[in-house]
Homo-oligomer: A and B are copies of this chain.
């Protein structure tokens, strides 16, 4: 994929730093091209237990009824310090952050070590803060994206902007290069975000049927379907987009904001469902265009997306309207 023109990212979330390191080494063995690592920034600290106790009770009762295992809610910082230490010495070119913006001191330290620092944003105010903190690049995540919303804080009233207006609104807050993300599964959509001013696109669901992807069998079946996606906190206590299933229908309305506590509460039941190939209780993360994902090697997907994007931009550039003389200044 990297050799085809993509920039591959290693997902470091839910891994110990030592595991991130061994995966990075494995990735280094298959490509000499630049690599990125994506890291979840930890929140301010544990959620108030009173805010999620009822949901824990609810899921325990439900799990007993359906015979699924639930775990203990708990907070952790996802091995933050050790991951930062690893990044400052590892053979990696780019780090992208999700769920928050590290301090300007930390960003400066990573940049001093030669890393390019990308911050994921979901609105213009986050873009302003990431720019002030010293980011090199902003990943602009539209509401169309699969998986977790990258917002600095999960709030019930946070606007979930669509990608195209979000690129425009973020542009009013920063002059940094923008990487567009969310619902991009075709070369046409890639051409669209490039024409709208992004320098690149971050693409997830469109790679999830590749043989190289770690997508489980039940998740693959769901991605191929025309199943509609929804934003839900039911699985992890943080807003994320996935294909609607029985777990979401049963619990979405009751789910609190409490990440990663609810993630740990449901991790074992999701694991069991994945192993059983049972889509009802899996977090079937998927972006809005998931049904356009193709079963191809990742390198072919990259080549096809770029060739199609090139053709789409050529076609737009050839429109008769493009050849018209620019209008003069408006009448005074």
Contacts and interface: CB of A to CB of B under 8 A. Distances in A.
A37 B289 CA distance: 32
B316 A194 contact: yes
Given A164-B189, A291-B169, A322 B300 contact: no
Interface in A12-33: none
Interface string A230-255: 10000000000000100000000000
A144 B169 contact: no
A326 B313 CA distance: 13
Contacts of A49: none
A197 B326 CA distance: 22
Contact of A161 (B4, B144, B297, B313): B144
A196 B185 contact: no
Interface string A168-182: 110110000000001
Given A303-B327, A316-B195, A326-B310, A165 B189 contact: yes
B197 A165 contact: no
A147 interface: no
B184 A164 contact: yes
Interface string A198-236: 000000000000000000000000000010111000000
Contacts of A70: none
A313 to B, nearest CB: 5
Contacts of A163: 162-164
Contact of A159 (B164, B196, B288): B288
Interface in A128-186: 142-144, 157, 159, 161-169, 171-172, 182-186
A312 B161 contact: no
A68 interface: no
Given A162-B182, A192-B196, 10 more contacts: A4-B327, A162-B183, A164-B189, A165-B184, A169-B291, A169-B292, A191-B316, A195-B316, A196-B312, A297-B330
Interface of A: 4, 124, 142-144, 157, 159, 161-169, 171-172, 182-186, 188-189, 191-197, 226, 228-230, 244, 287-289, 291-292, 297, 299-300, 303, 306-307, 310, 312-314, 316-317, 319, 321-322, 326-327, 330
- Top 8 A-B residue pairs of the complex, sorted by shortest distance between their CB atoms: A192-B196, A165-B183, A195-B195, A165-B289, A162-B162, A144-B162, A191-B195, A165-B288
